[in-house]
Amino acid sequence: MSITTYLLVFGSGLLAGMMVLFVALKINSGDNLDILGVIKRAFSKLPGAFRRTAEVTVEPEEIAPAPQPPIDPREQNLYDSAQTIRNILLIMTSNIQRSDKAASDSSQVLGDVKSAINTMELPTDLNEAQSLLMTEVDRVISSNAVLKGELVKSQAVLSEQQHQIEDLRTAVRVDGLTQLANRSYFDEKLNEMISLRKRYGDPFSLLMIDLDNFKAINDSFGHPAGDRVLKGVALKIKASLRGSDFFARFGGDEYALILIKTDVAAATEVAWKLCEEVRASRFILDDATLAMTLSIGVAEACGEDSDETLLKRADEALYRAKSAGRNGVSAAAPF
């Protein structure tokens, strides 16, 4: 064997040892540097010794959009907390996936390194260095296997926590009394519908629904009785809607209804139907049987409507319905 060959073999072995030590230190320290890239660049100069491995690519994180400003600060705090924790879990999940891929790829590369070193015909005085190097490679591969097992466990825990956070996000969107969507969720949905309409042009209409003379029920029968009426009316209206319609408690004795892919004419027909069904119903409160009526304002999203302008037009239509004697429907003119 020539001196040049000895130098090449010795230099290759020394370089391999340095790279493996570098990998071990980075893995043990939890560093997220592109270790595989360093190994590939270092060993690519050794002719025919190693196979090339694919670069690790990381997709950019998706940042969830912030929720709409709500009416109830306590409700918003719960929603924001759930959203923040959810985003943290998503980031942790992504990091675990990257770490798992890095562990798998580094084990593959180190396996290639080990195979390449075994094929080298090293002189006797380098056999000890080769043995130490192979031991270190085996240790790192073993550490990667342990790391992958821990990552699998962490992934399962995070998955369960994500399910719990989704349940919490759903809970803070629901009105506790009627079990309808609450005001915060309604604001978010209305903003989403405005955005979709501007992008795709699909029509939708907003109905603002008010229980006529509801204050008299609270004054005469008490607030618990009033709550029962609110729940009963909510159930009656919800039973008449399509699965795609969005029904929410707006606040107090008011409800809000978003009718998807419905123009003002069709929405007005739906409104009259709801008035008739509630008017024909009876709500039993202990020994009393009550008849209730609705006043409804209808507005179709059009032009450059924003959520504020659409709400304002529906509210104005509702006010006209109540001013006309209640128990009726009024539709807003186009924007």
Q: In a structure prediction context, what are the per-residue pLDDT tens digits for the chain, which is 335 residues long?
A: 444 444 344 344 444 444 444 444 444 444 444 444 444 444 444 344 333 333 334 344 443 443 444 456 656 666 666 667 666 766 766 766 676 677 677 677 667 666 766 666 656 556 666 676 677 777 777 777 777 777 777 777 777 776 666 666 666 789 989 999 999 999 999 999 999 999 999 899 999 999 999 999 999 999 999 999 999 999 999 999 999 999 999 999 999 999 999 999 999 999 999 999 999 999 988 888 999 999 999 999 998 899 999 999 999 999 999 999 999 999 999 87
d(CA 76, CA 95): 29
Q: What are the residue ranges spanned by the domains of the chain?
A: 3-171, 183-331
Distances in whole angstroms, Cα of residue 268 to Cα of each of 25, 32, 160, 225, 271: 70, 60, 45, 30, 5
pLDDT score of 10? 39
CB 108 within 8 A of CB 148: no
Tell whether pTM > 0.95: no
What homologous superfamily is domain 183-331 in, according to CATH?
Reverse transcriptase/Diguanylate cyclase domain (3.30.70.270)
Residue 240's alpha-carbon distances to 154, 193, 227, 235, 248, in angstroms, are 46, 21, 21, 9, 14
Q: Which residue, among 213, 327, 204, 206, has the nearest Cα to 274 in the 3D structure?
A: 327
Bridge partners, 258 (sequence order):
206, 246
pLDDT score of 213: 94
Task: Specify the pLDDT at position 8.
Answer: 40
- Measure the CA–CA gap between 192 and 199, rounded to whole angstroms: 11
